[in-house]
């Protein structure tokens, strides 16, 4: 199965997200990552969906037909910028705190909370960066992790609403 990242521009209306995720569910696809937020226009939202499947063209066409869906674009790594945010609570001791802080700085992450036995770190980047950081932190002890899910934008000057084609298939 192949990984597909869909960027879906929708009218900011109640029930839109439910209809879209229901469509994936009815077709038997598990959504690996989901990120939703209001755009520069408060009447529109952007949904970023990551799904592993073989037949993405059919589901793109079905999503495009849903009420309140304005545009559906498949994003490739070459044509888009992907980012994710993670908050990671790391177990610390007096002896390990400096080592953790050094690694946090190398990854250009931020310490957002300090407690006697833990540090909470905010890190943004692509999935590989977050995975690499998390693997390094496992040696110290990871207490908790929460991730936002992938979010993405097309590279270049054109926003999703101005793209000529509704469906952009990977090269």
Q: What is the pLDDT of residues 115-157, one digit of tens each?
A: 999 999 999 999 999 999 999 999 999 999 999 999 999 888 8
> Could you tell me if 80 and 48 are in contact, meaning their C-beta atoms sit under 8 angstroms apart?
no
- Is there a domain that residue 171 lies in? no
Q: Is 117 a member of any domain?
A: yes
Distances (CA, A) of 106 to 50, 98, 99, 109: 28, 12, 11, 8
User: Which pLDDT value is given to residue 162?
Assistant: 64
When divided into structural domains, the chain yields a total of 2
Find the farthest-apart pair of alpha carbons in the chain and give their distance in angstroms, rounded.
58
What would the pLDDT profile of 3-52 be if each residue is shown by its tens digit? 999 999 999 999 999 999 999 999 899 999 999 999 999 999 999 999 99
Q: Are residues 13 and 70 in the same domain?
A: yes
Q: Name 104's Cβ contacts closer than 8 Å, sequence gap at least 6.
A: 110, 111, 119, 121
Same domain flag for 75 and 87: no
And the tokens for 171? Answer: 């090269």
The pTM score is 0.83
CATH number at residue 120: 3.30.70.1150
CATH number at residue 69: 3.30.70.260
Burial of 164 by CB count in 10 Å (0-12 exposed, 13-18 middle, 19+ buried)? exposed
């Amino acid at each position: 199965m192949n990984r597909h990242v869909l960027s879906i521009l929708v009218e900011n209306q109640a029930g839109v997200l439910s209809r879209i995720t229901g469509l994936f569910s009815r077709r038997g696809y598990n959504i690996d990552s989901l990120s939703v937020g209001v755009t520069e226009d408060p009447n529109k939202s952007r949904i970023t969906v990551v799904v592993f499947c073989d037949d993405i063209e059919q589901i793109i066409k079905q999503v495009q037909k849903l009420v309140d869906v304005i545009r559906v674009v498949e994003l490739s790594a070459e044509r888009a910028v992907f980012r994710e945010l993670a908050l990671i609570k790391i177990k610390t001791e007096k002896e390990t705190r400096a080592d953790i802080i050094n690694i946090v700085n190398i990854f250009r992450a931020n310490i957002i909370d300090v407690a006697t036995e833990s540090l909470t770190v905010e890190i943004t980047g692509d999935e590989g960066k977050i995975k690499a950081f998390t693997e390094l932190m496992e040696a110290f002890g990871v207490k908790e992790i929460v991730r936002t899910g992938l979010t993405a934008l097309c590279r270049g000057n054109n926003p999703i609403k101005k793209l000529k084609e509704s469906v952009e298939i990977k090269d």
